[in-house]
A and B are shown apart, each in its own frame.
Chain A
Amino acid sequence: MQLTPLINHKTLNMTKRKTVQWLLWILLIGLIAAFSAIYFAFNMPRRNLANENSVYLLSAKQLISDFRNDETIATKKYLDKAITVTGEIKSIRNLDNHSIVFSLEDAMEGVSCTIDSADIVTYASKLLHYKTGSRGTFKGRCSGMLMDIQVINCVPVQGN
């Protein structure tokens, strides 16, 4: 790379030229590093729950009772954490954005585990076994409680 022509040869002796050259290289490397850091941060990948270890592994009933007992404490404890919940599937429904919601223990006020539309094909064979009335285990990110407790970005966990 020719960086030297930017500098007037006549006014600089060899050592000064070398120093300037070095500085320019450092600057260039610094800029590349900074831009790539910004680029990667900007395009950082989404959390993939399949690659995360669950912070809590519990039954849907336990999760429901924790939230019913004290929503504030439960929200602090579980919000945004990777959790694995197991329970009886009471209802299965499709959302407009093609995600699938499995409600555990209670169709209205149970635990709603959402599988994103993008993940359905990946887990299709596992999801086939998840029928109303059967037991289901899901790993996902707890996003809090409305009527139901919502667990999003779920992946089905085998061996339920």
Chain B
Amino acid sequence: MNKLILYFVFSLIVFNVQAQNRFFTKDAKINFNSSTSVEDIVAESNQATTLIDIDKNEIAFSVLTTSFKFRRALMEEHFNENYMESVKFPKAKFNGKIISPIEWKSEKVVLVDVKGVLTMHGVSNEIILKAQIIPGKNKILAITEFKVIPEAFGISIPSAVRDKIAKEVTIKIDAAYTPYQP
């Protein structure tokens, strides 16, 4: 009986430890910015899902492309129908690994390199991005900013509007992770 209780307590501890290894949020903020002399196009989604595994130093991130909000409804329509083809490719994803050293217990701001694969519009490209991470016991904050070239992801932009859309689109992500309890 004692053994059983011990085993039960032990398994609880193990479970608890395991649960704390993964942090996640469903409310990560992602925005992108394409600014040219002709037009500034800004869009934001507050509903990206992202997970950090602090044992494996892995990060997964995904967002539904139709959840981006633009200033104008017409921009939103063009973005989903002409460029991202959201019906065919409803998600944009990133799966990566932190390749710089990181001490998760430190609670100090660290600048890390994250190497991974970004998939959008059905095309995957390997990228390395810089992220700023603030580890914590019950909360991890992460922000990143990187640039993507639409054409690298098979997004063709008609020449008539090419000068309205930046050659490189800046993407910013801001996420506050909490322990993942499945």
Contact = CB atoms under 8 A, between A and B. Distances in A.
Interface residues of B, number: 24
A80 B27 contact: no
Contacts, number: 68
A59 interface: no
Contacts of A47: 73
Contacts of B62: 146
Contacts of A76: 87
A70 interface: no
Given A80-B66, A143-B67, A146-B49, A44 B91 contact: no
B26 A79 contact: no
Nearest to A45: B73
Interface in A14-42: 41-42
A79 B87 contact: yes
Contact of B47 (A41, A114, A141): A114
A79 B86 contact: yes
B160 interface: no
Interface residues of A, number: 29
B74 to A, nearest CB: 5
A134 B57 CA distance: 39
B46 A43 contact: no
A112 B64 CA distance: 13
Interface of B: 26-27, 29, 44, 46-49, 62-64, 66-67, 72-74, 76-77, 80, 86-87, 90-91, 182
25 contacts: A43-B74, A75-B87, A75-B90, A79-B66, A79-B87, A80-B66, A95-B27, A95-B46, A96-B46, A97-B44, A143-B66, A143-B90, A144-B90, A145-B64, A146-B26, A146-B48, A146-B49, A146-B62, A146-B63, A147-B26, A150-B47, A150-B64, A150-B67, A152-B66, A152-B67
